[in-house]
């Protein structure tokens, strides 16, 4: 169906045309609506000329004239309608019908929330905090809170333990130069078959046994990268070898060796590198401890002033509840006197209920702020502090520090622990560069050793093994023959003789050792030249790039500190201005509230305005308290940003 709809000026030109096409845009299903503007009075005047004869027109002529006029008007509009209908029909015929089923709307089932709830008429709970005995109060100053936090805070304790760990790391790095003493002792027995008559054994076997004890003292030199070693050996040897004149015998030896680098590791080696890094890590943990202390101080200051605000805001809400109840009683009295309507009592009761909600919300904030402060200063969860009611005693500081932006930036760049940590990291990187640059050099070492030996023992009774009884008898017969022939005799064989200082026990061997009668020495050069040495070159290149990265991070850190200082200084100035404005707003709201109360008593105001002034006055008091504590928190944040939190609070941190 296509429906042509007109306004009241064209009521008589309405036409309805049946059409079997779908609906056009902007019309109901199956309906096309055409609206024409109403005819103006001039058009109606032209289409309906009035004919008056003798001052009056006949009724029949008048009706005929009106019908003709309306027909003329409708005829003019009918042409427009026909043209519009033709265009619309062409548009509808050009469309392709797409029969779709319109989805039926589904109702959203929303569960009702407490449909028939009616609050119980009972007194409100007491203004107490969970787990806190309100009769046991603990007055606490900000300085006492800071002292407790630095002493008991777990983050501070962890940072302090990290410093101790760094101290032990440094001690362990220095331990590489501690001398190392090692020793060993053992017993050995050898039975060796002989294959020559010169082996000195009997029955085809030689047997020997010994007790051996060795000791070694070695270590690294703290300067110039050298290493030393001192070896001592002591043996008790027993053998049946006929060619060994001393059995048992006690050979001893003492040897000292030293290796000195001449090129690589002469100026800087890995041991000295580890010690220097351990020193820097200790400085790093010191800076980290100071940073943790500054952060803890700032957190304690924030928590302290949050508790101050929460407690004072709780008092403001209590005063608001008291004033609203007083206003409620005042309204009831005026209602009983007929000066107010009973609905004004309901408005006052709603005001009381609203302030009571704010009161218990403020109590919750007090509990949160107090627990947050206790978490920073308590020793552990069993501390008695958790059951006490903390009462801050310090008043807010209403004077902002006078410091310019250049001064604040200079103080931050001089005192911020983050920059100190960045300096330590850069110094550690320089140590690595120095070490890896040494590793690119060839290794040329000077080696030398000097040794002393000692010997003593018990002389065996067999004498010279080459002089036996048969041999001596043969020599005697030869001498007799030579004597008969008047020829020179054989040269007598000298008896086997040992030096007197070799005869003795173990003590004699030690004396021979210490007298340095028998010694040896060795001097040489050892060269280790790796071809290309790409590993050391890669490590050096990596350390150089690491230095560039540290420098870039340093610039980024300085820029972040600058932003931090600028923001902190702006917050201080904004907080100071907000405090001034909040004080003026509170005074104005108080005067307006008191004035509105007087107007109500004089019958020149309404209860609604009085309640509005009371709400505004309560909000203004809370805003003023918030501005006061925000100023102190902003001052604490500025101290943190400039790195002056320790000096500003007269705190001296002793890390070790």
Mean pLDDT rounded to a whole number for the chain: 80
- Predicted local distance difference test score (pLDDT) of residue 632: 92
Give strand pairing partners of 213.
185, 234
Alpha carbons 224 and 594: distance in angstroms, whole number: 88
- Burial code (b: 16+ CB inside 10 Å, e: under 16) for 468-478 equals eeeeeeeeeee
Q: pLDDT for 114-141, tens place per residue?
A: 666 666 665 666 778 888 988 899 999 9
For 476-482, which contacts have Cβ atoms below 8 Å and span 24 or more sequence positions? none
275: left (phi over 0), alpha (psi -120 to 50) or beta: alpha
Residues with Cβ within 8 Å of 119's Cβ and at least 6 positions away in sequence, in order, are: none
- Predicted local distance difference test score (pLDDT) of residue 479: 79
What does the angle CA 264 – CA 270 – CA 272 come to, to the nearest 5 degrees?
105
In the predicted model, what is the mean pLDDT of residues 70-90? 42
In the predicted model, what is the mean pLDDT of residues 167-173? 93
Contact criterion met (CB below 8 Å) for 629 and 305: yes
Strands 457-459, 246-249: pairing is antiparallel
Q: Which has more pLDDT, 262 or 123?
A: 262
3-state SS class at 267: coil
Contact criterion met (CB below 8 Å) for 446 and 260: yes
Alpha carbons 28 and 13: distance in angstroms, whole number: 21
Q: pLDDT grade, residue 467 (50/70/90)?
A: low
DSSP for residue 222: S
In the predicted model, what is the mean pLDDT of residues 527-553? 92
Give strand pairing partners of 182.
216
Q: pLDDT for 631-651, tens place per residue?
A: 999 999 999 999 989 888 888
Q: Which has more pLDDT, 29 or 284?
A: 284
Contact criterion met (CB below 8 Å) for 160 and 289: yes
Whether omega before 248 lies within 30 degrees of 0, making that bond cis, reads: yes
Residues with Cβ within 8 Å of 259's Cβ and at least 6 positions away in sequence, in order, are: 226, 227, 228, 445, 446, 447, 526
- Predicted local distance difference test score (pLDDT) of residue 123: 65
CATH of domain 147-157+272-390+400-435+535-648: 1.20.1600.10
- Predicted local distance difference test score (pLDDT) of residue 466: 58
Which of 308, 324, 394 is CA-nearest to residue 356?
324
- Predicted local distance difference test score (pLDDT) of residue 115: 67
Residue 26 has pLDDT above 60, yes or no: no
Q: Which has more pLDDT, 109 or 578?
A: 578
Other Cβ atoms less than 10 A from the Cβ of 154: the count is 13
Residue 20 has pLDDT above 50, yes or no: no
Other Cβ atoms less than 10 A from the Cβ of 503: the count is 14
Residue 186 has pLDDT above 80, yes or no: yes
Alpha carbons 46 and 424: distance in angstroms, whole number: 101
Q: pLDDT grade, residue 197 (50/70/90)?
A: low
Residue 15 has pLDDT above 80, yes or no: no
Which of 580, 651, 629 is CA-nearest to residue 394?
629
Q: pLDDT grade, residue 387 (50/70/90)?
A: very high
- Burial code (b: 16+ CB inside 10 Å, e: under 16) for 582-593 equals bbebbeebeebb
- Predicted local distance difference test score (pLDDT) of residue 395: 87
Contact criterion met (CB below 8 Å) for 421 and 287: yes
Other Cβ atoms less than 10 A from the Cβ of 256: the count is 16
DSSP string, 132-194: --TTSEEEE-HHHHHHHHHHH-HHHHHHHHHHHHHHHHHHHHHGGGS-EEEEEEEEEEEEEE-
For 547-552, which contacts have Cβ atoms below 8 Å and span 24 or more sequence positions? 547/426, 547/429, 547/430, 547/433, 550/422, 550/425, 550/426, 550/429, 551/426
- Predicted local distance difference test score (pLDDT) of residue 464: 59
Alpha carbons 642 and 568: distance in angstroms, whole number: 9
Q: Which has more pLDDT, 242 or 466?
A: 242
Alpha carbons 477 and 468: distance in angstroms, whole number: 15
Rounded to the nearest 10 degrees, what angle do helices 607-642 and 343-377 cross at?
A: 20
- Predicted local distance difference test score (pLDDT) of residue 89: 45
- Predicted local distance difference test score (pLDDT) of residue 55: 41
Instruction: Give the residue extent of every domain in the chain.
Output: 2-51+64-88, 147-157+272-390+400-435+535-648, 179-261+443-463+498-529
131: left (phi over 0), alpha (psi -120 to 50) or beta: left
Residue 25 has pLDDT above 50, yes or no: no
Measured in whole angstroms, the distance separating CA 193 from the mean position of its chain's CA atoms is 75
Other Cβ atoms less than 10 A from the Cβ of 363: the count is 20
- Predicted local distance difference test score (pLDDT) of residue 127: 74
Residues with Cβ within 8 Å of 247's Cβ and at least 6 positions away in sequence, in order, are: 237, 238, 239, 240, 241, 457, 458, 460
Q: Which has more pLDDT, 88 or 163?
A: 163
Residue 406 has pLDDT above 50, yes or no: yes
Other Cβ atoms less than 10 A from the Cβ of 169: the count is 17
- Predicted local distance difference test score (pLDDT) of residue 296: 92
3-state secondary structure 431-491: HHHHHHHHHCCCEEEEEEEEEEEECCEEECCCCCCCCCHHHHHHHHHHHHHHHHCCCCCCC
- Burial code (b: 16+ CB inside 10 Å, e: under 16) for 401-422 equals eeeeeeebbebbeebbbbbbbb
- Predicted local distance difference test score (pLDDT) of residue 495: 59
Alpha carbons 234 and 217: distance in angstroms, whole number: 15
Alpha carbons 570 and 148: distance in angstroms, whole number: 31
Contact criterion met (CB below 8 Å) for 13 and 81: yes
pTM assigned to the model: 0.67
- Predicted local distance difference test score (pLDDT) of residue 497: 66
| Cα Rg, the chain, nearest whole Å | 56
Q: Which has more pLDDT, 55 or 596?
A: 596
- Predicted local distance difference test score (pLDDT) of residue 240: 83
Other Cβ atoms less than 10 A from the Cβ of 316: the count is 20
Residue 273 has pLDDT above 80, yes or no: yes
Contact criterion met (CB below 8 Å) for 393 and 140: yes
Residues with Cβ within 8 Å of 559's Cβ and at least 6 positions away in sequence, in order, are: none
């Amino acid at each position: 169906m296509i429906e042509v709809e007109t306004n009241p000026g064209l009521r008589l030109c309405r036409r309805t045309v049946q059409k079997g096409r779908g609906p056009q845009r902007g019309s109901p299903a199956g309906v096309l609506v055409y609206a024409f503007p109403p005819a103006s009075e001039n058009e109606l005047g032209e289409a309906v000329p009035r004919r008056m004869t003798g001052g009056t027109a006949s009724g029949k002529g008048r009706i005929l004239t009106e019908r003709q006029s309306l027909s003329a008007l409708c005829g003019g509009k009918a042409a427009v309608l026909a043209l519009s209908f033709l265009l619309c029909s062409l548009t509808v015929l050009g469309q392709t019908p797409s029969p779709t089923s319109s989805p039926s709307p589904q109702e959203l089932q929303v569960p009702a929330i407490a449909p028939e709830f009616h609050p119980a008429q009972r007194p409100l709970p007491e203004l107490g905090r969970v787990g806190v005995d309100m009769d046991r109060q603990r007055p606490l100053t900000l300085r006492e809170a800071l002292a407790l936090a630095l002493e008991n805070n777990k983050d501070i304790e962890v940072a302090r333990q990290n410093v101790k760990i760094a101290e032990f790391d440094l001690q362990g790095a220095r331990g590489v130069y501690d001398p190392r003493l090692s020793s060993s002792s053992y017993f050995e027995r050898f039975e060796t078959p002989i294959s020559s008559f010169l082996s000195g054994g009997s029955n085809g076997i030689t047997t020997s046994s010994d007790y051996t004890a060795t000791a070694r003292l070695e270590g690294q030199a703290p300067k110039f990268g050298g290493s030393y070693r001192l070896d001592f050996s002591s043996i008790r040897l027993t053998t049946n070898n006929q060619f060994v004149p001393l059995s048992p015998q006690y050979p001893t030896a003492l040897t000292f060796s030293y290796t000195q680098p001449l090129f690589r590791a002469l100026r800087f080696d890995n041991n000295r590198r580890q010690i220097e890094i351990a020193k820097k890590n200790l400085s790093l943990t010191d800076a980290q401890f100071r940073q943790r202390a500054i952060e803890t101080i700032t957190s304690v200051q924030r928590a302290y002033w949050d508790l101050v605000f929460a407690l004072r805001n709780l008092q403001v809400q209590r005063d608001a509840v008291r004033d609203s109840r007083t206003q409620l009683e005042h309204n009831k009295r005026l209602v009983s006197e007929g000066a107010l309507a009973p609905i004004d009592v309901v408005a006052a009761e709603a005001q009381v209920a609203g302030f009571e909600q704010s009161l218990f919300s403020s109590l919750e904030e007090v509990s949160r702020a107090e627990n947050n402060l206790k978490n920073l200063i308590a020793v552990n969860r069993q501390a008695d502090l958790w059951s006490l009611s903390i009462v801050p005693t310090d008043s807010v500081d209403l004077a902002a520090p006078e410091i310019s932006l250049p001064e604040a930036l200079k103080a931050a760049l001089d005192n911020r622990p983050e920059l100190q940590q960045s300096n330590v990291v850069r110094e550690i990187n320089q140590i690595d560069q120095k070490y890896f640059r040494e590793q690119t050099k060839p290794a040329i070492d000077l080696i030398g050793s000097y040794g002393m030996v000692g010997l003593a023992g018990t002389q065996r009774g067999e004498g010279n093994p080459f002089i036996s009884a048969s041999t001596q008898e043969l020599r005697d017969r030869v001498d007799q023959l030579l004597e008969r022939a008047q020829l020179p005799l054989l040269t007598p064989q000298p008896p086997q003789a040992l030096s007197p200082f070799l005869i003795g026990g173990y003590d004699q061997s030690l004396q021979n050792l210490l007298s340095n009668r028998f010694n040896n020495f060795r001097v040489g050069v050892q060269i280790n030249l790796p071809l290309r040495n790409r590993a050391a070159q890669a490590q050096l290149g990596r350390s150089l790039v690491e230095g560039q990265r540290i420098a870039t991070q340093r610039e980024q850190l300085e820029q972040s500190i600058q932003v931090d200082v600028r923001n902190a200084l702006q917050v201080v100035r904004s907080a100071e201005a907000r405090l001034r404005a909040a004080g003026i707003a509170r005074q104005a709201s108080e005067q307006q509230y008191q004035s509105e109360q007087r107007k109500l008593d004089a019958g020149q105001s309404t209860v609604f305005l009085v309640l509005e002034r009371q709400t505004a006055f309560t909000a203004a008091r809370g805003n003023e308290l918030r501005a006061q504590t925000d100023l102190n928190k902003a001052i604490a944040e500025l101290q943190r940003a400039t790195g002056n939190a320790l000096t500003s609070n007269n705190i001296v941190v002793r890390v070790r």
